Each structure stands twice: as C-alpha cells, then as structure tokens.
C-alpha cells in the first residue's frame, strides 16, 4: 500500500470531501442549530470516534469476568492482558484485548452515570453495541415480545417515535400496536386513561418515551400500570438521556424493566445507542437480540467514543450544562408565549419546545404550517424541524415546529438569548402570508414573508451567532448562504437554466432575446413591482451580468436571492404566483 494511501491527509487524498466537511462545519457554526435531537459533539469524543478502533472486528461481548468490574480493575493492564491470553472469551476474533477493555469501560461508566440511588453500578447490565436507537428498540421488541404481541406506545402524531410501532416501521408490522394519546384539553399525558387502555388491551409491553412530548413522564406510575397487567415497561429516554444523567430528568433505570437511549442527543456522544436493565435474565435476552440477533460486528470506534462521553457526563460542567439547557427551554417557551404564540402541551420541563404555527399566521382560513415555517427560519439562520402535534391529521402536513436548546446552550447562549430567539422568530413569521396550492393529490401549504422582516431576522440571528462564538479549531470561513452581500463585488451575476425567465419576471423589460455580449437597460422591480433601481443587463456565456449603482448592488443581490428562494412577497396581489427559478445570484 502506498504511503499516500496510508498517511495522506483528507485534504490531500480527497479535497472535495475535505471542502464539504469545512462547509458543513461552517454551516453548523454560522447558524443557530435548534434541532432537538442534535448537539455539538466535543472534540475529544470525535477524536476517539475517528481512532484506529474503527479498524477492528469483534463480534461477541467482553469476558463475563469484566461485568461489574470497577474502572481501576478494568484498566489494570498487567492483570487484564494475562487473563486475556490464558482464557477463552466471548468473541469470534483474536486481537480484541483492548476492545474488551474499551467495551467494559464504556459499560462501567454508563452504569455509574445511570446508577439509581440504593443500587450499585455492578447491578446494572449495559449493552453499548446497538448501532442506533431504532435498532436498539427493535432488539428490545425481539428480546421481550413475540411477533403479534400487543405493545402500547404514545401515538406518533402526539409525540411518539417511528420505532414505537408506526405502521411504516418494522415494529408496527411486527407487533399489534395500541396507542395512548395526550388529553385533548390539557395536551398532557393522562395516566388514568393510560391505565384504562392497559386494562382493556392487556399489552405485553408498554413504552414510556417520546420524541416530541416535552414533559418528563412519571416512570413510577408507568411501572405501576405495567405491573397491573403483567407487562414489561420499556423507557426510551433517547432525547433526554443527558438530562437524566445530570439529574435534570427522572432516571428510569431501576424502575423500568429496560431503559434505552441514543448517545448523540443531549448526551453529546457518538451516534449509537445503549440498553440498560437491572434484571440479569432480561440482560441475557437483550444481549442475544443485539448480537447475533440483529447485528454483526460492533463499531468499536463508537464504543470508545461512548466511553469518553460517559466520562464527560460525570463532570460538574456537564451537569451545569444540562441544567442550563432546561432553563433555556423554559425561557424559549415563555418567550413564545410573550409574543402571543401558542406553545403546544403548555410548556416544557425538558430541552424541547413545540410551537403551533397555526397560532402565528392565517390568511383566508389557510394557516401557516410547519414545513414552510421551518424553511423560512432556515433562511434567517435558525435550524429546526417541522413536527406533528395533537390535532394534526397526518405526518405529511405537520402544523408545528420543534425546537431544542442543547446546541445553543453548548455555545453559551442563556435565557435572555432564548427570549431574543423567540422574538425574532415571532417577528419574522408574523409577517407570513400563507396560501395553499392544489397539487395532483394533495394541498401544498406555503407562505411568503416580508423581505425587510427577513433581512432584519438575518441581522438579529447574526448578532446571536457572533455572541455564541465559534469553535477555535475552525479556520474563519463562512457558509455561503443567501445573505452574503457579495464582499463588495461590483456586479451581480445571475446564472442557471431559469436565469432569463427569472430576470424577465423581476425587471421591467425582457432580456430573454439578448445575444451573448449584448446588453440592455432596465429597472429592477421591488415589492409590488415598484421600481427599485436602474440596471444594465449584459448576456454572458453562462447567464447575465447586471450592473447597478454601487450603493444598490448588495441590496439587489440579497433581494434577488430571496426571490429565487421563493419565500418573500414579490407581488401582494399575486402572492401565489411563483417566480421562475431557482437561479444562482452571485
């Protein structure tokens, strides 16, 4: 193998991917990421994940002798390595002496983090091999239920998860699924109703765990309901594991029969999952279901990174961060309410807030919907996701937005900043004029906002981004998003297949017939076709170069980029009429 292939840097071997990584890194830091299930994984964890443990196959599990060992005994290499050389183990490959120790360490640290009062870490059985939350959930179904058994979960439209029995997921086909729902008045879990449903349906397993329900459940009550019908209780704390680790959210370990979580959300670790039980018989079934039931070789680089993550999760800084994440979510929720917007489920005591877009803008009976609202917020630099809420009819047309505070809290933003974020979201989205277009099958909901409000939104979000600061490891660069003014470039270049049609729509004269090298004078049109500035449009090989007065060029570039994106109002009288595009406005 050539030296180049073994030692070449990414920039040398694959500059294209190296550039995409830099751009993605810049995007992550130039915007406010408020995806509730994301966080900014610490450099130390990423270093472990990028390590040579990536190279190793190690199907199986560490020797049973490591179960329950404290950290200093796991790391006693002088004893561990002779033990390994002398004894058979539970792996199918040799060369796994350090993998064994890494896995045992990840298990031990997880057990220490999630050990409930009155128990010892050695009483917890931890599987760190699931490659993702969905696979971990499936492994639990496989371990504790038979196909066709009834499983009771929160309805996806009310905050449940795809892998909790959605008909489009294997779990929904494997099991008979019955859903509990939130109370339609309070939008809160109603334990009386959950109890009654359990009595009627006699499930084999009940899942307490949510992807977009923002209140911590009462795990004791769920366990009592499960016990009343002889069901297993599975707690899925994928979203909130970091908060549970820090004592900011109830820890279900020791209450639920089995607890599962992903490691990359509030825990801020690698993408993977962990299953914990305090029952040795259940532990054996879980281990068999994960490997060889569903998976082959575990990803040891991730397991190493998990071990580092669990070390970080034991620090006072991690605990303080999780507490601030929760305080920030409350401040965001209060900020929305102060702007007259409806917070779904009444608020939050986790890291997540759901905002009912229908409460923000309506026009001729058409509400603002989650998809278009999330696109508009992305344009100003706030990244969130559309989400269903109680009352929505199907997952394809969610009427809400889900926001999470982990990432912005990691970057140092506090309660005042959350109120500023709520204000800017309300300010921009309140200018929205929604409309619906009939497609071949369904209505498509869209909306356009006021350009000046969008520009002001960008300015305010940029201020927050500056305040949040950047990662020292990242060289200065910027995400080439819509708002860059062009760094003083004296002309605007418009290109793309639709360039001529676009310019015809946004100028008072047609340029479609211009030959290469010819030019034409025209007026660029502002909102409602009010003349904005005189321009000279010249046809070039790959589009058009537009000259405008020096003090107008940057504004023209931003206006046209926004028009090409399609979410600002061009003509109030023809709100729905699309402008041809997209085009590149450079």
Which residues are at the interface with ligand DSN (CB under 6 A)? 37, 133, 161, 211
Provide, rounded to whole angstroms, the least separation between the CB of residue 161 and ligand DSN: 6
At residue 571, φ and ψ (nearest 5 deg) are -135, 110
The distance of closest approach from Cβ of residue 133 to ligand DSN in the complex, given in angstroms and rounded to an integer, is: 5
Nearer to ligand DSN, 69 or 354 (CB): 354
Catalytic residue among 49, 103, 142, 236: 236
For residue 121 the two structure tokens come to 């870490």
Is 24 among the catalytic positions? no
Task: Closer to ligand DSN by CB, 130 or 543: give it.
Answer: 130
Choice among 22, 27, 221, 271 that is catalytic? 271
Shortest separation between residue 364's beta carbon and ligand DSN, angstroms: 33
Nearest Cα neighbor of 273 from 296, 299, 248 is 299
Report the distance separating Cα 79 and Cα 329, nearest Å: 48
Query: Minimum distance from CB of 232 to ligand DSN (Å)?
Result: 21
Closer Cβ to ligand DSN, 150 or 387, answer by number: 387
The residue number with the shortest CB distance to ligand DSN is: 37
Active site residue 423: no
To the query of whether residue 236 is one of the catalytic residues in this protein, the response is: yes
Task: Write the DSSP assignment of 191-237 as a string of letters.
Answer: HHHHHHHHHHH--SEEEEE-SS--S---HHHHHHHHHHTT-EEEEE-
Q: Which is nearer to ligand DSN, 339 or 350 (CB)?
A: 350
Say how many C-beta atoms besides its own lie within 10 A of residue 188's C-beta: 12
Minimum distance, C-beta of residue 297 to ligand DSN, in the bound complex (Å): 23
Q: In the annotation, is 427 catalytic?
A: no
Among residues 262, 278, 348, 388, the one annotated as catalytic is 262
The Cβ of residue 532 has, within 10 Å, a number of other Cβ atoms equal to 19
Identify the active-site residue in 265, 302, 411, 460: 265
Cα gap 11→23, rounded to integer Å = 13
Q: Hey, which residues does 520 pair with through a beta bridge? A: 537
Query: Is residue 49 flagged as an active site residue?
Result: no
Closest distance between ligand DSN and the C-beta of residue 370, in Å? 14
Torsion of CA 201, 205, 211, 215, to 10 degrees: 80
Q: Which of 40, 57, 191, 427 is catalytic?
A: 57
Nearest CB to ligand DSN, comparing residues 133 and 543: 133
Nearest to 543 by CA among 486, 581, 570, 489: 581
Burial group, residue 426, by CB count within 10 angstroms (0-12, 13-18, 19+): middle
Place of tokens 């599975």: 234
Indicate the residue among 31 and 161 with the shorter CB distance to ligand DSN. Answer: 161
Active-site annotation holds for 262: yes
| Parallel/antiparallel/unpaired status of strands 150-154 and 176-180 | parallel
| Catalytic sites, residue numbers | 57, 59, 236, 262, 265, 271
């Amino acid at each position: 193998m050539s030296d180049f292939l073994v030692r070449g840097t990414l920039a040398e071997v694959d500059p294209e991917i190296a550039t995409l990584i830099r751009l993605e890194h810049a995007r992550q830091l130039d915007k406010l990421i408020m995806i509730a299930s994301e966080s900014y994984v610490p450099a130390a964890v990423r270093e472990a994940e990028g390590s040579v443990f990536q190279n190793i196959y190690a199907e199986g599990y560490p020797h049973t002798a490591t179960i329950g060992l404290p950290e200093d005994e796991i790391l006693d290499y002088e004893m561990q390595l002779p033990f390994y050389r002398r004894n058979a183990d539970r792996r199918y490959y040799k060369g796994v002496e350090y993998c064994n120790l890494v896995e045992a360490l990840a298990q031990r640290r997880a057990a220490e983090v999630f050990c409930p009062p009155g128990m010892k870490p050695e009483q917890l059985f931890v599987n760190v091999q699931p490659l993702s939350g969905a696979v971990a959930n499936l492994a639990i179904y496989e371990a504790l239920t038979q196909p066709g058994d009834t499983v009771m979960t929160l309805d996806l439209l009310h905050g449940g998860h795809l892998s909790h029995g959605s008909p489009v997921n294997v779990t929904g086909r494997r099991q008979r699924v019955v859903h509990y729902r939130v109370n339609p008045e309070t939008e809160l879990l109603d334990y009386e109703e959950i109890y009654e449903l359990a009595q009627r349906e006699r499930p084999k397993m009940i899942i307490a765990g949510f992807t977009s329900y923002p209140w911590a459940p009462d795990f004791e009550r769920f366990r009592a309901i499960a016990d009343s019908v002889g069901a297993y209780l599975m707690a899925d704390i994928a979203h909130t594991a970091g908060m549970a680790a820090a004592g900011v959210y109830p820890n279900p370990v020791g209450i639920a029969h089995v607890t599962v979580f992903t490691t990359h959300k509030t825990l801020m670790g690698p993408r993977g999952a962990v299953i914990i039980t305090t029952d040795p018989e259940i532990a054996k079934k879980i281990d068999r279901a994960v490997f060889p039931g569903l998976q082959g070789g575990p990803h040891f680089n991730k397991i190493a990174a998990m071990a580092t993550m669990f070390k970080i999760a034991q620090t006072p800084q991690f605990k303080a961060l999780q507490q601030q994440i929760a305080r920030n979510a409350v401040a965001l929720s209060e900020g929305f309410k102060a702007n007259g917007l409806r917070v779904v489920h009444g608020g939050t005591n986790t890291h997540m807030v759901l905002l009912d877009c229908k409460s923000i803008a309506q026009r001729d009976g058409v509400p603002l919907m989650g998809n278009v609202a999330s696109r508009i917020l992305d344009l100003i630099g706030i990244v969130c996701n559309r989400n269903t809420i109680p009352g929505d009819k199907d997952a394809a047309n969610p009427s809400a937005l889900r926001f999470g505070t982990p990432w912005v809290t990691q970057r140092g933003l506090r309660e005042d900043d959350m109120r500023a974020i709520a204000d800017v979201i309300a300010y921009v989205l309140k200018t929205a004029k929604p409309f619906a277009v009939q497609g071949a099958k369904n209505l498509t909901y869209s909306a356009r906002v006021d350009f000046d409000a969008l520009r002001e939104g960008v300015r305010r979000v940029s201020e927050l981004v500056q305040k949040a600061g950047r990662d020292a490891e990242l060289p200065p660069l910027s995400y080439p998003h819509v708002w860059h003014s062009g760094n003083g470039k004296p002309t605007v270049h418009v290109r793309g297949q639709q360039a001529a049609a676009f310019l015809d729509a946004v100028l008072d004269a047609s340029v479609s017939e211009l030959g290469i090298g010819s030019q034409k004078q025209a007026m660029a049109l502002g909102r409602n076709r009010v003349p904005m500035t005189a321009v000279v449009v010249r046809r070039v090989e790959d589009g058009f170069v537009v000259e405008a007065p020096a003090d107008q060029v940057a504004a023209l570039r931003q206006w046209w980029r926004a028009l090409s994106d399609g979410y600002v109002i061009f003509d109030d009288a023809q709100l729905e009429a699309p402008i041809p595009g997209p085009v590149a406005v450079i």
